[in-house]
């Protein structure tokens, strides 16, 4: 099964992001927008795992959650991957710099590497994906709107838990199922 670890977003944050996506979607329909139920902050993508690994991963995440206190997360700004290009592949919302988030993600990387999950080679860049750009999209108006909202605040939430998700790929898009939740101390 395909799995990942993430922070599920609070409903008011999902509402704010959904409203922003509706405004963007009115400008361009040639982007695959993230659905409300798919909004989360990925901390670690595990990929395909065998079911016999589930308990080991859950045990590891339980230990990690005990070592980390809840913290506040501020969503702010817009951007693209790759950055600064006229033809981006991903549109995203930023996360204000947060040491507690970085330490939590780093701890997840380190402890899961002991279970055989390779650490990510790229530096962790916390963001929330809004949409993935389809090939050949005309993005002038979208890019102008993203730039206009480059410093916009999209809200704040208290992170009280991490979630171990299963991702089920379907023709209509990925569906996410929470396998377990782990309260932060």
Q: What is the DSSP string of 119-155?
A: PPSSPP--EEEEEEEPTT---HHHHHHHHHTTT-EEE
Q: Residue 34's pLDDT is what?
A: 94
Residue 150 CB contacts under 8 Å (≥ 6 apart), including other chains:
77, 78, 79
Q: 173, 48 in Cβ contact below 8 A?
A: no
Report how far Cα 173 is from the mean position of its chain's Cα atoms: 16
Domain boundaries, the chain: 2-183
pLDDT of the chain along its 185 residues, tens only? 999 999 999 999 999 999 999 999 998 878 999 999 999 999 999 999 999 999 999 999 999 999 999 999 999 999 999 887 678 899 999 999 999 999 999 999 999 999 999 999 889 999 999 999 987 667 889 999 999 999 999 999 999 999 999 999 888 888 999 999 999 99
Q: Residue 173's pLDDT is what?
A: 80
Q: Select from 1.10.8.870, 3.40.50.300, 3.40.50.1820, 3.90.1140.10 the CATH code of 2-183.
A: 3.90.1140.10
SS3 (DSSP) at 169: coil
- Residues taking part in catalysis: 40, 127
pTM: 0.92
Report how far Cα 114 is from the mean position of its chain's Cα atoms: 23
Q: Residue 136's pLDDT is what?
A: 67
């Amino acid at each position: 099964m395909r799995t990942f670890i993430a922070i599920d977003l609070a409903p008011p944050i999902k509402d704010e992001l959904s409203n922003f996506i509706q405004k963007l979607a009115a400008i361009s329909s040639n982007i695959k927008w993230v659905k409300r139920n798919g909004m989360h902050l990925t901390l670690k993508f595990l990929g395909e795992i065998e079911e016999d690994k589930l308990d080991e991963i859950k045990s590891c995440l339980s230990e990690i959650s005990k070592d980390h206190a809840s913290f506040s997360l501020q969503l702010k700004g817009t951007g693209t991957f790759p950055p600064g290009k006229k033809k981006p592949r991903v549109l995203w919302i930023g996360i204000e710099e947060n040491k507690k988030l970085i330490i939590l993600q780093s701890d997840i990387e380190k402890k899961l590497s002991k279970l055989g999950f390779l650490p990510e080679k790229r530096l962790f860049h916390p963001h929330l994906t809004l949409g993935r750009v389809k090939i050949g999209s005309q993005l002038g108006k979208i890019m102008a709107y993203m730039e206009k909202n480059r410093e916009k605040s999209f809200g704040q939430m208290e992170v009280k838990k991490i979630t171990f998700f299963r991702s089920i790929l379907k023709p209509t898009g990925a569906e996410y199922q929470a396998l377990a939740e782990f309260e932060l101390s």
